[in-house]
Amino acid sequence: MPIRLLTPDTIGKIAAGEVVERPSSVVKELVENSIDAGATRIQVEIRGGGLDLIEVTDNGSGIEPADLPLTLERHATSKLTAFNDLDHLATLGFRGEALASIAAVSDFSLKSRVAGEPGGQQIRSLFGSEPITSAVAAPVGTTISARDLFGNVPARRKFLRQPTTESGYVGRVVSAYASAYPTIQFSLFVDGRKSLQTDGGGDYLAVAGAIHGVEVGKAVLLVDPLEASAAIAGVDVEGWIAGPSVSKSHRQEIVFFVNGRWIQHRALAYALEEAYHSLLMVGRHPIAFMHIRVDPASIDVNVHPSKAEIKFTDERSVARAVQRSAHFALSGAPRADLPVASFASTFTPVQQPAFTMPAPVSRQRTLEPESDAPAHEPPRNHASGVPMLRVLGQVGASYIVAEGPDGIYLVDQHAAHERVMYEKILQQMKGAGVDKQPMLDPLLVELAPEEMAVFEKSREELTEIGFDIEPFGDGVVAIRAIPALVQRVDPAERLHLILRELADGGAGDSWLDSVAISAACHTSIRANQSLSLTEMRELISELEKTSQPRACGHGRPTMLHMSQVDLEKQFSRR
């Protein structure tokens, strides 16, 4: 074959592939442009996983009419004047490639107006065709939309996942930027439904709650800049991390920004997890957002086309700052949120012997959750890992008080039952299959669209754990059978709870595991439920039989322990 020059059209498509891998990368570029334009409000809308429509609207500076056609030229940027500037980047963009790349693979339109102009201008281009400019009515700011993404590159579409998955990636991008820019009001609409809204009030913790929901919101701890004595020269870290009472089975909720830029960095994620040390069960990972600020000259952002990876000149210092900041945040956490026994092991610094943690308030350190992590005193346990317990009574209709060989134990009845149910489901699945209880009449349940999406994804797994549920059309499903284990509960209500939890990502190592954990959780005895002494004894003895009695399927502790020694210390007998 003779050598030929590629046509500009082909070159455009190839280059577009480097910047625009999938809908979420388009959203990332557009959101970054809006941030660079000084926007205080950014609205993202997608349809069909971003293939039908991606639209980003901001109230930023807008683009001068004369500059409009230039925005679609490759390597046209208002942000970089000389190569030297690369070391002193104050903006997220600098390559001038994004808009040209997006326009090459979509039905593209950009509407913009700058303050002081009577009206706006629009520029349209169809899959890289010569742009056409026209006058339009528009508020100050910019709206960019891309329709029919990759309509001219069908091969690329084949690499994309299901629309719900692609929408999920977009959600992750918007959440990450909303976390990093709490003073900007972000909203995300997915297929016409609002899926995220932050208030732009500048409060990190409010953003964490808006993104991750109430439960995580309650468990988040602010990461403050380190005090002078502990600070690491040239590295500042701020943000938030969730206490160990909430965690994930993957690392996708660990988000790092460096100087305003979202990055992926394995070593930093490990450094962060090191700070949690034994606070999290094996296979569980934290939820965290950290914004790291360093001298721009000490990083190279140019190593990756979509700028997702960067190189630090001194990676170890950055990792140390991340770890230390997380240590401090965790050490200030309220006790209720922290398994204290294992927390003690964080006093032994793992990587830096010179660094000493501040001691937590000793009065709060009395109730120590049992954990699989090495504690100071090896507890005297019974073969299953849980001590022989004598039930004394119930507190607050939620906790069982028991006496063990070494002190007193408080058992969370919900977490304990969840562990029992989870293991029973798994056992039955491994054996002859799960016992099912057929419904006399099928129970019709109406699902919200997001519940329906999760239901469709989880149908096989739900069947495997004992639910027979069929689509009935029009957003309705018919429950025909439920696992025999869950007989006493309202199946419709529990199905909603299970699907809603799964919509948040699932807690298990596999999807089947996530479905089992969620089903166990939402079919268990709740808190605020009075139990008879017999019921409590039965529950404790079931718990003793499980393989991991000390944590529920979500990794929350099932029991707290106050040892004989602790009791004596607290009553000043020692």
List the one residue out of 446, 439, 429 whose CA is nearest residue 519. Answer: 429
Q: For residues 300 and 278, what is the distance between their CA atoms, to the nearest angstrom? A: 34
Rank residues 70 and 497 by Cβ distance to ligand ADP and give the closer one.
70
Asked if 35 interacts with Mg ion (CB under 5 A), we say no
Span of 27-35, 334-342, 419-427, 503-511 interacting with Mg ion by CB under 5 A: 27-35
Nearest CB to Mg ion, comparing residues 37 and 499: 37
**Continuous segment of H or E residues that includes residue 237:** strand 235-242
- Name the minimum Å distance from CB 36 to Mg ion: 7
E-strand ranges in 77-155 read 107-113, 120-126, 132-136, 141-147
Query: Among 96, 260, 349, 407, which residue sits at the site for ligand ADP (rule: CB under 6 A)?
Result: 96
Amino acid symbol at 489? V
DSSP state of 361: P
177 binds ligand ADP (CB under 6 A): no
Is there binding between residue 142 and ligand ADP (CB under 6 A)?
A: yes
State the DSSP code for 442: E
Minimum CB separation of residue 314 from Mg ion in Å reads: 28
Q: Under the criterion CB under 6 A, does residue 29 sit at the interface with ligand ADP?
A: yes
Smallest separation, CB 302 to ligand ADP (Å): 12
Binds ligand ADP by CB under 6 A, chosen from 22, 95, 324, 494: 95
Please report whether residue 33 would count as binding ligand ADP according to CB under 6 A: yes
Nearest approach in angstroms of CB 99 to Mg ion is: 7
- CA distances to 18, 267, 508 from 270, in Å: 28, 5, 20
Q: Does 58 bind ligand ADP (CB under 6 A)?
A: yes
For position 196 contacting ligand ADP by CB under 6 A, the verdict is no
Considering the rule CB under 6 A, would residue 37 count as an interface residue with ligand ADP? Answer: yes
- Is residue 555 part of the contact set for ligand ADP (CB under 6 A)? no
Residue 72 CB, nearest approach to ligand ADP (Å): 8
What length is written for the chain? 574
Structure tokens of 200? 């732009």
DSSP string, 9-50: HHHHHHHHHHH-SSHHHHHHHHHHHHHHTT-SEEEEEEEGGG
Inter-residue long-range contacts of 530-537, CB under 8 Å, 24+ positions, other chains counted: 530/394, 530/397, 531/394, 531/397, 531/400, 531/413, 533/391, 533/393, 536/391, 536/394, 536/400, 536/413, 537/391
Name the one range near Mg ion by CB under 5 A: 33-41, 131-139, 198-206, 560-568: 33-41
Of 24, 25, 33, 175, the residue at the interface with Mg ion (CB under 5 A) is: 33
Q: What is the CA radius of gyration of the chain?
A: 27
Contact region for Mg ion (CB under 5 A) — 88-96, 347-355, 441-449, 536-544? 88-96
CB nearer to ligand ADP: give 146 or 521. 146
Per CB under 5 A, does 182 bind Mg ion? Answer: no
- Where helices occur in 92-153 by DSSP H, the ranges are 98-104
Is position 93 an interface residue for Mg ion (rule: CB under 5 A)? yes
Q: Is 71 in the site for ligand ADP (CB under 6 A)?
A: yes
Give the binding range for ligand ADP (CB under 6 A) out of 70-78, 175-183, 397-405, 499-507. Answer: 70-78
Between residues 8 and 334, which has the closer beta carbon with respect to ligand ADP?
Answer: 8
Helix, strand and coil content of the chain, in percent to the nearest 5, comes to 40, 25, 40
The Cα 121–Cα 367 span in angstroms is 65
Q: How far is the CB of 171 from Mg ion (least distance, A)?
A: 21
- Which one of residues 18, 47, 78, 231 is an interface residue with ligand ADP (CB under 6 A)? 78
3-state secondary structure of 423: helix
Within 248-378, strands assigned E span: 254-258, 261-263, 288-294, 299-300, 311-312, 368-369
Distances (CA, A) of 357 to 13, 125, 240, 345, 531: 54, 58, 19, 11, 42
Strand partners, 126: 107
CA distances from 293 to 59, 67, 314, 378, 414 (A): 26, 32, 13, 42, 42
At its nearest, how many Å lie between ligand ADP and the CB of residue 108? 12
Q: Which of 47, 79, 293, 459 binds ligand ADP (CB under 6 A)?
A: 79
* CB of 168 vs ligand ADP, minimal distance in Å: 24
Nearer to ligand ADP, 73 or 460 (CB): 73
Measured between alpha carbons, how far is residue 222 from residues 107, 239, 254, 288, 487 in Å? 43, 6, 15, 10, 42
Residue 77 engages ligand ADP in binding (rule: CB under 6 A): yes
Residue 63 interacting entry, from ligand ADP, Mg ion, none, C-beta within 5 to 8 Å by type:
ligand ADP
Q: Which amino acid is at 337?
A: D
Q: Which residue has the tokens 């099932």?
A: 558
Strands 41-47 and 185-190: parallel
Q: Is residue 94 a contact residue for ligand ADP (CB under 6 A)?
A: yes
24 binds, among ligand ADP, Mg ion, none (CB under 5 to 8 A by kind): none
Question: Does 63 engage in binding with ligand ADP (CB under 6 A)?
Answer: yes
306 lies in the binding site for ligand ADP (CB under 6 A): no
Secondary structure tally for the chain: helices H, strands E: 16, 23
Considering only the stretches 72-80, 238-246, 313-321, 508-516, report the one whose residues sit in contact with ligand ADP under the rule CB under 6 A.
Answer: 72-80
CB nearer to ligand ADP: pick between 307 and 554 = 307
Residue from 56, 98, 223, 333 touching Mg ion (CB under 5 A): that is 98
Which positions touch ligand ADP (CB under 6 A)? 29, 33-34, 37, 58, 60-63, 71, 77-79, 93-100, 142
Which positions touch Mg ion (CB under 5 A)? 33, 93, 98
